[in-house]
Amino acid sequence: MKTSISNAWAIVTNRWRCARGLLPLCLVWVVMIPVAASAAERPSSRQPVMPNAAIDQLLHDYQGDVPGASLLVLQDGVPLVARGMGKSDLETGTAAGPQTNYRLASVSKQFTAAAILLLLQDGKLTLDDPARRWLPLLPPETGAITLRHLLTHTSGLIDYEDLMVEPYTGQIHDAGVLALLAQEHRLYFAPGTAYRYSNSAYALLSLIVERASGMDYPGFLQARIFQPLGMTHTLAFVDGAAAVPQRAFGYSWADGHWQRTDQSSTSAVLGDGGIYSNIDDLAKWDAALYDDRLLTSASRALAFGPHAEVTGEGYQARYGFGWRMTGDTQWHSGETIGFRNVIVRWPARHLSVVLLTNRNDSEPYKTALAIGALFQQP
């Protein structure tokens, strides 16, 4: 029988304690609560415990009647922590939980990159294909740009947000990004000579997925990634199509209170940040990154390869295909109006931390690192 993370995390937490020799705690949990209180009065420094108090302190700002968060800590495929806090919808008072779906923002890029790698495995394209092979509307100045450049933010493409004339009416889509770039006859730098984070590149990659596969981008992700992995609540959100189940709405602090800021003029672009998911589903995604069930070992090596040195972002890292690498971690954050998210993986330890939030402040990357450190203490 399969047990979801949201139903099983407390049981697994106790199992985690047992696995580390905490038999007294295991018995207390099964027998009666007063004994646990007595044990708490006589703590032993030799008995490690789940760092729930430390986690609560790190996530204090997300608790209560405020925009919230969902946290997942996985080790060896086991959910040590899977919980929500705060609210996913302030207007209805809905609590955030393990199955709350958040807009992933740039965490979506790893799925766009995976789609390209699947098409590479299918023999439908190569990483050294010129982008103009698939998108001939691009101007001649982009002729040297390859798919590899798009994946690693080394294309030199102008950021489409800098090309949108304000005030922009309605929402721009991936095809609209291509239309803007088709009229732009300059690059930031020659392709392959520098790094500059590029939402434009990943919007174009989603269109290349469509051209190479013959399917629309949301349908390809569903057929080739989400359905095979059992990610039943994950989708590339298209307004007017399938609704987002258990949806979190985004908020920003302004004028002394939280205001709903769920959508912007760029929120309909899919390839760079348009996927919604929850920690239940992302646990399945994380598991698939350890074996060949989706991507071959060669494709995973490409995804996590240190292809480009990250510059201009305030930290040391190298960029793969939809992932950053820093030290022994693989990670990516995502920020958009009303949402801040991060996935951090320590693959050598089989440890992952996922922190999804529906608010426009409190960068979660350092918080996720601090939570991960709690589970790496000797």
Q: List the domain boundaries for the chain.
A: 1-50, 84-374
Q: What is the pLDDT of residue 362?
A: 81
141 vs 116: CA distance, rounded Å: 23
**299 neighbors 127 (Cβ within 8 angstroms):** no
Tally of CB atoms within 10 A around 323? 22
Q: Convert the chain into a string of H (helix), E (strand) and C (coil).
A: CCCCHHHHHHHHHHHHHHHCCCHHHHHHHHHCHHHHHHHHHCCCCCCCCCCHHHHHHHCHHHCCCCECEEEEEEECCEEEEEEEECEEECCCCEECCCCCEEECHHHHHHHHHHHHHHHHHCCCCCCCCEHHHHCCCCCHHHCCCEHHHHHCCCCCCCCHHHCCCCCCCCCCCHHHHHHHHHCCCCCCCCCCCCCCCCHHHHHHHHHHHHHHHCCCHHHHHHHHHHHHHCCCCCEECCCCCCCCCCECCCEEEECCEEEECCCCCCCCCCCCCCEEECHHHHHHHHHHCCCCCCCCHHHHHHHCCCCEECCCCCCCCEECCCCEEECCEEEEEEEECCEEEEEEEEHHHCEEEEEEECECCCCCHHHHHHHHHHCCCC
Q: What is the pLDDT along the chain (378 residues), one digit of tens a residue?
A: 444 554 444 433 443 433 333 333 333 333 333 333 333 333 434 444 689 999 999 999 999 999 999 999 999 999 999 999 999 999 999 999 999 999 999 999 999 999 999 999 999 999 999 999 999 999 999 999 999 999 999 999 999 999 998 778 789 999 999 999 999 999 999 999 999 999 999 999 999 999 999 999 999 999 999 999 999 999 999 987 778 999 999 999 999 999 999 999 899 999 999 999 999 999 999 999 999 999 999 999 999 999 999 999 988 999 999 999 999 999 999 999 999 999 999 999 999 999 999 999 888 999 999 999 999 977
Which two three-digit tokens encode residue 354?
A: 């996922």
Tokens standing for residue 5: 């993370």
pLDDT of 372: 98
pLDDT, position 42 = 38
Residue 124 is predicted with a pLDDT of 98
84-374 CATH choice from 3.30.420.40, 3.30.1330.20, 3.40.50.300, 3.40.710.10: 3.40.710.10
CA gap 88, 106 in Å, rounded:
20
